[in-house]
Amino acid sequence: MRIWRPIVAAAVLSLTLAACGSTDTPAATPTSAGPWQFTNGNGEVVKADKTPTRIIAHAGEAAALMSFGIKPVGVYADESVKTDPNLKDLDLTGIEILGEEWGKIDVEKAASLRPDLIVGDWWPAEKAHSGLEEGVDEKSKKLKELAPVVGVSQGKSIVDLAEGYEKLAVSLGAKVDAPEIAASKKKFSDAVEAFKTAVASKPNLTVLAMSPADDKVYVANPEYAPELLDFQKWGLKVVNPDKPDPGFPYWENLSWENADKYQPDLILWDGRSYTATANAEWGKKQPTWFAIKAAKAGAVASWPAYWLHTYGHFAAELDKLTTAIKAAGENVGS
């Protein structure tokens, strides 16, 4: 679930950064002269006398920068880097791992890296950056004292997110005309077209993004899930819940007694908890889960919830969803 801390103080965001010597610059990170600036996800412009070179980034944001050749000196994640979908296939050699649990960042180790920039998504609903939110360990919040924090907004599209990190990478000195980057974008473009074709072949198919939990069933609100908004834009009928939680509008919260309030043809299951056996397991654990006709029929597919940042990852996930849509029936929920 998404919970984040208040915005970094403007005084910190406008901090003038000290230049690092050439011996402090990671070999894999392009460098360029200052002055430097970037428009943060909250609209504020962060400025520095010199281009930052010693970057600490949250998991997905690190993956995005690395896809354009910018290698951070440190990374903090919400789970093991061996299982984090953004990081598990990346070479993290030479990068300090500063946290592998939500809400816990080793700020002392982070300080030893002498960062001049922290990179984390901006979450509009919480008005905060990734990893520095309400509810995290108090010591972890001190990360924001080490350097300015910037990030692209988790807004209306994963495409916008990927493009935003491309712009950040360019501002940090990346060259984005490499053949492998062009190939990744082409793969993504092809995946989008295949997805649109599959959706068009099932004009009456309805889907609902969900995350079952012990206490209740969470129904995702596409307005706060950019990948779901992309799916809607590309023609997929993703259901918007009637009553998102006013205090945490990412979800409508349903009691298990009301788990069957919506009857989609296909369930998009929060990929952070999805396994091949999860549907059957929840059917045994909570009988009302199977009151949802799609669940009873096994019409479920993994939804890449809140983690996508790169063209390559989005292309791979779209290919999986395209296969699921092709196999789905249009009248399961009726």
Q: What is the pLDDT of residues 95-105, one digit of tens each?
A: 999 999 999 99
Of 148, 176, 204, the position where a domain reaches its end is 176
The least confident of 56-70, 81-95, 124-138 is 124-138
Looking at the structure, do residues 54 and 166 belong to the same domain, yes or no? yes
- Structure confidence at residue 145 (pLDDT): 95
| Shared-domain flag, residues 87 and 191 | no
Residue 80 is encoded by which pair of tokens? 């093991």
Structure tokens at 228: 């779901």
Q: How confident is the model at residue 5 (pLDDT cuts 50, 70, 90)?
A: very low
Taking the C-alpha atoms of residue 109 and residue 81, their distance in angstroms, rounded to an integer, is 17
Q: Is the pLDDT of residue 13 over 90?
A: no
What pLDDT, in 10s, does the model give residues 270-305?
998 899 999 999 999 999 999 999 999 999 999 999
Instruction: Please report which confidence band the pLDDT of residue 8 belongs to, taking 50, 70 and 90 as the band edges.
Output: very low
| Averaged pLDDT score across all residues of the chain | 89
Structural contact between residues 98 and 110, judged by C-beta atoms closer than 8 angstroms:
yes
- Decide which of 30 and 18 is more confident: 30
Domain of 297, in residue numbers: 180-327
CA-based nearest residue to 322, from 221, 238, 231: 231
What is the residue whose two structure tokens read 């549907």?
279
Q: List the beta bridge partners of residue 37.
A: 47
Q: Going by DSSP bridges, is the β-strand pair 217-220/206-212 parallel, antiparallel, or unpaired?
A: antiparallel
Mean pLDDT of 188-203: 98
Same-domain status, 290 and 190: yes
Q: How many CB atoms lie within 10 A of CB 183?
A: 12
Q: How many distinct structural domains can be found in the chain?
A: 2
pTM of the model: 0.86
